[in-house]
Amino acid sequence: MTEHREEATVTRDGNVDDTGAHARSEAAARTGSAAEERAWGELVAAARRTVRDGLVVGTSGNVSVRVGDTVLVTPSGVPYDRLAPDDITCVDLDGRQVLGTLVPTSELPMHLAVYRTTDARAVVHTHAVHATAVSTLVPELPLIHYMAAPLGGPVRVAPYATYGSAELAEHMLRALAGRTGCLLRNHGTITYGATLDQAYDRTAQLEWMCRLWLTASSVPGTAPTLLTPEQLTEVQEKMRGYGQRP
């Protein structure tokens, strides 16, 4: 059975406003469209995969997908293996809940900031171990591998701010300038993409690169070789023709 909670609005400054919740309850409980229901199933599957792949522990991390002018997002504090089709949680781009009764993730300000400023259709936020460790050590992930190219270049680390705050969302946007992913200091990662699969793959690649750099850096008396900006630019050009053609 779905857990029913008072719905809330997350404002642009990151605060929660539950004014008018009763007036909106009927709209929030409506049945989603076929597109929203399909996207919700894909979102829940991706959220469960973050746990299975070791990118999050418990209810840490969150996933969202944009459908038109609405955003489907994982709810706050609910284990992903307990989510059901009628637990669908959806907000508009201003953070007003328009579908569902479960409170959206506390990191909603970050997700909405990405959608308002980029062409993202999906966002993945994790607390991946190696990436979080790197976020405490350097201002950006060194160019240890050419897979930094799909992320737009050297992956920056956004300064620390309290989770769920407007300040964190602002730090994140600056770190994402010209990038599709960044690290969040003492916190985790966030990536986005044109599809949920692309956003997820970027998260997985970022965690892998962080693990690679930590491993190479751990050998006493040596330092890993790094790519030059010119080498990375060459890879970015080459990747424009990567993959299958329709």
DSSP class of residue 179 equals -
Return the active site residues: 107
**Two tokens, residue 168:** 């964190």
Distance separating alpha carbons of residues 231 and 7, to the nearest angstrom: 50
- CB of 175 within 8 A of CB of 116? no
Residue 130 CB neighbours (<10 A): 19
DSSP 3-state of 33 = coil
Alpha carbon distances (Å) from 131 to 16, 55, 71, 105:
29, 9, 26, 21
Classified as helix, coil or strand, 199 is: helix
